Amino acid sequence: MQRSIIAPAERVTNLRWGIAVLLGIGVLINYFDRVNLTVAGPSLRTEFGVDDVQFGYLLSAFAWTYTLLQIPIGVFLDRYGVVVIGRATALLWAIASGLTALANGFATLFGTRLLLGIAETPTFPINAKAIGYWFPIKERGFATAIFDSAAKLATGIGVPFVSVILYYYGWRATFVVTAILSFLFFIAFYAFYRNPSEDKRLTHAEREYIREGGAQPEGLTTASNVGAALGYLLTQRKVWGLTIGFAAYGYSFYLLLTWLPGYLVKTYHMDVLKTGAYAMVPWIVAAIADLIVGGWLVDYLVQRGYEQTRVRKTIIVIGMLMGLTIIGAAYTTNPNVAIVWITIALTGLACTAPIGWSIPGLIAPRGGVGSIGGIMNFFNNAMGIAAPIVTGYIVAGTSSFANAFITAAVVLVIGIIAYVFILGKIEPIPEPGGYGAGVRG
């Protein structure tokens, strides 16, 4: 029998995974920018005389612009595409972080955090859209988990990393370092990211593998149809089920992202280096769970024939139920026990996050991934505004984080209800008459 020989050019290459890693590196640096203020908080508060309530507002400042621009940036992303929006905003990251190092008081710090929120607004909608273009459905979970887990990993390694810089060189140096890293990412994104149709490195075999596997077709929403497309999506039950569920996840995520070091300092009187070591544990474990459960396990089960809606919803519900264990931290005076409860809660939530970010690419009509991602992330990051401020008021009023953790658990219950009863089957939203006509390749 004659043996078939496949030419190298006909093999399915792995350029798409390089794209996923590039996007993940962007999120990693993106979250170094965000965690800086959390770690530098005690030093800033001493230097500028900032109290608990003011610091809650300062922690939320990033989320103000980040949230308000989510829906507009989703529309702009669908209108102008990943390449244009991605390059422009990546450069702005570096500028915003660098300016923070020059801040001379509460007002200027607040302003630079608002600017950083503007710069980083498109990050996750861009990544969701890019993954939709570059990956078949059966690989979408792990590809999404690569960039989503980077958010947890960045916090896990970023807290001790920034703590060391802060300890030896001061808080301004931490922002200089992240500004440099942000600029290096801008150069990498400018040089290496292209959409599949524009990337000359992509082989025919890999292109066909991606296309035949159900990747989102490329296309930009025309200017004349932007309003109609967004209005249509806002009427869809699936969009609201996803949005409410993901926002509930966001409340606990942002509470821990912004207040965990402060919680350890205030409740257990830890110094900056010990705080960094303790805070690292839940985020590192969460990053691993994000990749293995929210990414690899989902793809593994879907590839073996399990119904994708049942797989994704089951893991989401189990993960959010694990998130309820954050209540355990409200009823202990032992920092080791508290970190165990927080680690279990954050690990469960981490498993749900890449699934949530993969859903826009699975339910969106053509040209609508950015808009759905923007809607979803608008409400998610509204929680990024609410959680730090509500927590600041609770801590100021009670001198304890117990009620703050209980509040987060109540919000998670609402999210579970939305995912189970409102989202429905994870499948593409039908295109109404005229929607497709407003999309061009």
When pLDDT is cut at 50, 70 and 90, the band that residue 129 belongs to is confident
| Both tokens assigned to 390 | 């509500």
Amino acid symbol at 343 = T
When pLDDT is cut at 50, 70 and 90, the band that residue 227 belongs to is low
Q: Which of residues 438 and 388 earns the better pLDDT score?
A: 388
In this prediction, residue 225 carries a pLDDT of: 56
When pLDDT is cut at 50, 70 and 90, the band that residue 407 belongs to is very high
Q: Which of residues 104 and 325 earns the better pLDDT score?
A: 325
With 0.75 as the threshold, say if the pTM is over it. Answer: no
When pLDDT is cut at 50, 70 and 90, the band that residue 349 belongs to is very high
Share of the chain above pLDDT 70, in %: 93
Is pLDDT above 80 for 222? no
Average pLDDT, the chain: 84
In this prediction, residue 64 carries a pLDDT of: 84
When pLDDT is cut at 50, 70 and 90, the band that residue 339 belongs to is very high
In this prediction, residue 188 carries a pLDDT of: 95
Is pLDDT above 90 for 166? no
In this prediction, residue 433 carries a pLDDT of: 61
Is pLDDT above 50 for 439? no
Query: Distances from the Cα of 261 to the Cαs of 37, 56, 265, in angstroms?
Result: 11, 13, 6
Q: Mean pLDDT over residues 245-270, rounded?
A: 87
Of 186-200, 206-220, 386-400, 416-430, minimum mean pLDDT range? 206-220
Share of the chain above pLDDT 90, in %: 28
Comparing CA positions, the residue from 214, 217, 241, 239 lying closest to residue 229 is 239
In this prediction, residue 214 carries a pLDDT of: 82
Owner of token pair 């249509």: 232
In this prediction, residue 7 carries a pLDDT of: 46
Is pLDDT above 80 for 344? yes
When pLDDT is cut at 50, 70 and 90, the band that residue 441 belongs to is very low
Give the bridge partners for 220, in sequence order.
440
Of 23-32, 55-64, 247-256, 380-389, minimum mean pLDDT range? 55-64
In this prediction, residue 382 carries a pLDDT of: 86
- Measured between alpha carbons, how far is 427 from 270 in angstroms, rounded to an integer? 48
Is pLDDT above 60 for 63? yes
Per the CB < 8 A criterion, the answer to whether 185 and 90 are in contact is yes
Contacts 24+ apart (CB under 8 A), 133-136: 133/82, 133/195, 133/196, 133/215, 133/216, 133/218, 134/16, 134/19, 134/20, 134/196, 134/210, 134/215, 135/16, 135/20, 135/210, 135/213, 135/215, 136/209, 136/210, 136/212, 136/213, 136/214, 136/215
Q: Mean pLDDT over residues 372-388, rounded?
A: 85
Q: Which domains are assigned to the chain?
A: 15-203+236-429 (1.20.1250.20)
When pLDDT is cut at 50, 70 and 90, the band that residue 259 belongs to is confident
Q: Mean pLDDT over residues 40-59, rounded?
A: 78
Q: Which of residues 437 and 190 earns the better pLDDT score?
A: 190
| Pairing between β-strand 439-440 and β-strand 220-221 as defined by DSSP bridges | antiparallel
When pLDDT is cut at 50, 70 and 90, the band that residue 148 belongs to is confident
